[in-house]
Amino acid sequence: MTTPPEVVAMLAGSPAPGAWEPMFPLLTVDDAGFPHMCLLSRAELDADGRRVYAVLASRNTIANVRRDGKAAVVAVGADTAVYIKLSVTESIDDDDWLGVACEVVSVKRDSLHVPLRPPQYLVTEAVPVTEDWARSERLLARLARRPG
């Protein structure tokens, strides 16, 4: 399967201070079988026609992905939510962070054809520093360059 073009477009570019940015829920399953969610920004996600890339800093999310090798990401567009099931095909350890390259396993579009807005956050000047977006950018670039 391929990454939906609308999701590739949603993840393109970089967040800018002062702008409202979409958040993308990444879901995994914990060791007790319950859903676990972390919210990622475009600074921590990327996609091309073949794969979805993510930088994970949450210990729980990393443990879940290491154990199961699976995740799902939700991308909310203008009138459709896109649910993408992912299977981890490669990973890069970066101290306490994990970069993952994922194959798209399935795509489901959910729409009532009414206007939607994704969950959002306001990018302050501090966010790129506290979230270490430069580190995420380097890790995403390393993942995208790997053959696969």
Using CB atoms within 10 Å of the CB of residue 8, give its burial: 0 to 12 exposed, 13 to 18 middle, 19+ buried.
Answer: middle
What pLDDT digit, counting tens, does each position of 51-78 carry?
999 999 999 999 999 999 999 999 999 9
Containing structural domain, residue 107 = 5-111+118-145
- The per-residue pLDDT for 14 is 93
Sheet holding 70-76, edge to edge: 35-40, 24-29, 70-76, 81-94, 97-110, 51-56, 45-47
| Element containing residue 133 per DSSP (H, E) | helix 133-145
Looking up residue 124, the CATH number of its domain turns out to be: 2.30.110.10
Instruction: Return the residue matching tokens 């459709």.
Output: 80
Number of domains composing the chain: 1
What pLDDT digit, counting tens, does each position of 72-129 carry?
999 999 999 999 999 999 999 999 999 999 999 999 999 999 999 999 999 999 999 9
- Other beta carbons within 10 Å of 124: 11
